[in-house]
Structure 1
């Protein structure tokens, strides 16, 4: 007979640990929750850019958005600008908006392709309010139910400060924090289930369910339980990163910059007290010294520290939930931060657990569903990242040309082929990136579909251009009412 879950032990702090502890306690306040973290073990701490579902997480916890932005030195994120990815000296945007408007049975891109045939001069992005706001450096909250004017947004923030912010909230709610280093993992001799974590000072933390937030060490899931790691480096060969903070710009852009170099790419993330910078690269194509020089030579503000090295292997554990351990965050897998998915995977992992929480004990059927769901989510994000690399047309290095020759996962190859032929995107249930995201990246990386949906042909040339003109002007209207990004932050976060 399975034992009911009465106590949860979270192994590890940082963003993953405190997001997990805070949400568990909020949803299931009757649970006893202990979190153990060591001041001697650092966190990766490069997840400073997010995607819009973080708003739902914060709102559910009852976080005040103004206080959150103040205390984490946060800024608004409307998009990612991809520079040099298709070819050098070219930029496209992956925004959190959706170009155009709903015009019928099929997506806006079908009508835009039809309008291009009729002589339309504007790009797809000229019909995207998020893009227009990025180019103008503006933002404001628009209170409307009209989807034409809705702007999806996320945040840039200091992830270490976010963890501290959540820690205060969780401890106030009753989460017990224990400081110490895990020295031994005690397992049941018959079942292999974890029974307790023994700390270096001899303290034992017993529990019914354990959340592994120990980062890439995977202390519980991988080391203690021996769950294998599925290596995806044959698709995504980057295995190293260097990260360094620099002085903030005089003005803060409301988007992340992803700048492709001869090998790999560089991120630039604006915060209110500094910029976050880093370079992601493959050690098979570039040594650390060259990566260091590339990063430091492409900072546009003064460095505030020396670069920190991060090593990783892209992939995932074959199970995120094994026995009575659930891996949350980097303990369960790593995908490079190209599309800012690291913090979201923490969020989705803990939400998934709460949706099928084992109140009466560990149930194999729930574990199976959890692991299937998690696998599909990881794989669809993996495919989306591969898409950026594969659809490049660069000729300046073996790295980019080898990316062009990748043998793609079947699902991704089919998705690309369908879009090339019909301009249609088909998404899986757990694909966090919806149609507009795939459309923007595929078109930004150089795909122009050869066909479009027949319903777009119901309009004459004059009619389709008239429709596009009205949408274009509608998208322009809110810009004059917006504040500069920095003015918005200053006014919104000022304590009154």
Structure 2
């Protein structure tokens, strides 16, 4: 510690973002001199719409030393192996975006290039047959590979569905055990430092003043500090992502929980379906310019699979990002930093990524512009990567049944996305740039799933012997199928975890290894 060390971190707002930040800071700032406080009011509700995640959350929980089985029990969680998209290419069509990889590369040639070469010569099954997570999902099966697991089960990559409010409560307990101080109250005034406009303190409705060196704004869309006080500004992406409303409602369901999220496109948006242990999470994301709120609510309720358990909760939003995620001595996380609709379950990951980068660039009281600029550039890149991937789903639709979908297909794309599409259309080439979130498998899944077919494949694939490649692809396909058929159902696997019974690895055919 020195005179410039951060002594007081103040998190404004609880919910998922606030308590994720508090948990991480309590773990990594356990230095004997930095105190983390979190201000929240029980009178201010949290949104908690997102209940589906992507695989990096596994690393976040592991970073905190959280036991995965305990976490699943506490949050009523289930496993997620990918996302099924229904009616996105055209009505009646569906495809699967799996976690993990398709097959494996051969002699340095990417698997999807070999698949496309084979597909150009003969009828092939959908590429999902070469993903262990996609095959397992189609059978309703699930498992979690251990350190000694061999292919193809070692390729089982998972994320989670969970109750976001229970996750926040779980992390609150974790953070408070490690010394985070929770302060009840509403902020009614912010005191800015005269010489540079930094936030010095906030005053609560009970008159109490909380001073801080670093403030983390987790106050939701309103951006209490980052926008209302610092007037940071917001970049609006509605012209690319026109949905601006969401409704969420829980329902009952019978039978086994599917190990995947389902996204079903409707005439003016899409509906999510997220199975938890105790209920089904449902929601509708839609464009208010194309359907009324009342009709949207009716559409959602008409498409529930079980009994409605509560009234729909409404949310209005503007897709986009804060111009600076870190401004002066305020860092915005969660909805305060921006919002990309939950189509690919990225909301919680954007929180996690912001926390990770803050820890990597953690400042002192001098707040170096170099650190702030690097943080802001990385967060901007991440938001734009996610934006482009989500736009792809809308633009690549082939539906002509509504003005909404026709306008999405006709939009002018960001240059960054157009470049990716052009490279794919030519010879199916995909390059992962910088710290881009979505890997090759994700882009291949959506490109092929929504009918963007390349003119050719990479000519380097022709260097491999056709018969050997065909045999290798068939062995990979059969290995996935036979391995998945030996797995327990998702419900059975969860029951064993929740019952604290240790599962032995299933016996698999020898040739798979």
Shorter chain as normaliser: what TM range?
A: over 0.9
Determine the C-alpha separation between the residues in 2 that align with 1:338 and 1:251: 23
Q: Distance in 1 between matches of 2:242 and 2:254?
A: 32
Asked if 1:7 corresponds to 2:12, the answer is: no
Q: Are residues 1:141 and 2:144 paired?
A: yes
Q: Secondary structure at the match of 2:171?
A: helix
Instruction: Name whichever of 461-470 and 119-128 sits farther off.
Output: 461-470
- Partner Cα distance (2:190, 2:151) in 1: 52
Map of 1:235 onto structure 2: 240
**Does the Cα contact within 8 Å between 1:249 and 1:275 map onto a contact in 2?**
no
Cα offset, 1:466, TM superposition? 1.5
- TM-score of the superposed pair, with normalisation by structure 2: 0.95
- Return the match for 1:452 from 450, 453, 457: 457
Q: Which residue of 1 aligns with 2:43?
A: 40
Task: Give the drift of 1:249.
Answer: 3.0
Partner of 2:131: 128
CA displacement at 1:197 relative to structure 2: 1.0
Indicate if the aligned counterparts of 1:10 and 1:36 stay in contact, CA closer than 8 A. Answer: yes
Q: Deviations along 1:442-496, whole A, 9 cap, x unmatched?
A: 1101012111122321244433321211111122232233110000000012147
Q: Which moved more, 1:115-124 or 1:396-405?
A: 115-124
Normalising by structure 1, report the TM-score. 0.98
Of the three residues 64, 89, 94, the one matched with 1:91 is 94
Contact 2:143 2:156 (C-alpha < 8 Å) held by counterparts = no
77-86 vs 122-131, greater mean Cα deviation? 122-131
Aligned residue pair count: 496
Unaligned runs of 5+ in 2: 502-513
| 1:204-243 alignment, distance < 5 Å | 204-243=209-248
Q: RMSD in angstroms over aligned alpha carbons? A: 1.4
Q: Give the secondary structure class of the aligned counterpart of 2:119.
A: helix
Match of 2:505 in 1: none
Equivalent in 349, 371, 388 of residue 393 of structure 2: 388
1:276 maps to 2:281: yes
Q: Distance in 1 between matches of 2:43 and 2:152?
A: 50
Verify the 8 A CA contact 1:257 1:267 in the aligned structure 2. Answer: yes
- Structure 1 residue ranges (4+ consecutive) displaced by more than 4 angstroms after TM superposition: 144-147
Give 1:428 deviation, angstroms.
1.8
Once the two structures are TM-superposed, the CA of residue 120 in structure 1 deviates from its matched residue by: 4.3
Matched, 1:158 2:163: yes
Moved more, 145-154 or 336-345: 145-154
Contact 1:5 1:361 in 2 (8 A): no
In structure 1, runs of 5+ residues without a counterpart are none
Q: Per the alignment, in what secondary structure is the counterpart of residue 266 of structure 1? A: strand
Per the TM alignment, residue 366 of structure 1 is displaced from its structure 2 partner at its CA by 0.4
Q: Cα distance 1:73–1:252, how it changes in 2: closer, same or farther (>3 A)?
A: same
2-structure distance, mates of 1:461, 1:66: 45
| Residues 33 and 175 in structure 1, CA contact (< 8 A), matched pair in contact too | yes
Is the Cα contact below 8 Å between 1:2 and 1:362 reproduced in 2? no
Match of 1:17 in 2: 18
1:253 aligns with 2:253: no
What residue in structure 1 maps to residue 106 of structure 2? 103
Query: Whole-Å Cα distance in 2 between the matches of residues 459 and 362 of structure 1?
Result: 54
Moved more, 298-307 or 3-12: 3-12
Q: Which residue matches 2:510?
A: none
Question: Does the 8 Å CA contact 2:143/2:488 hold for their aligned counterparts?
Answer: yes
Matched, 1:57 2:60: yes
Answer yes or no: is 1:330 the counterpart of 2:335: yes
Q: Tell whether the 8 Å contact from 1:246 to 1:304 is kept in structure 2 after alignment.
A: yes
| C-alpha distance in structure 2 between counterparts of 1:451 and 1:383, whole Å | 24
Rounded to whole Å, the distance in 2 between the matches of 1:466 and 1:145 is 24
Partner of 1:70: 73
Check conservation: 2:86, 2:94, Cα contact below 8 A. Answer: yes
Q: 1:147 and 1:218 mapped to 2: Cα distance?
A: 46
- Whether the aligned pair in 2 keeps the contact of 1:246 and 1:276 (CA below 8 Å) is yes
| Residue of 343, 351, 360 corresponding to 2:348 | 343
CA deviations 1:349-404 (Å, max 9, x no partner) are: 01100001013531111000000000000001000000000001001000000001
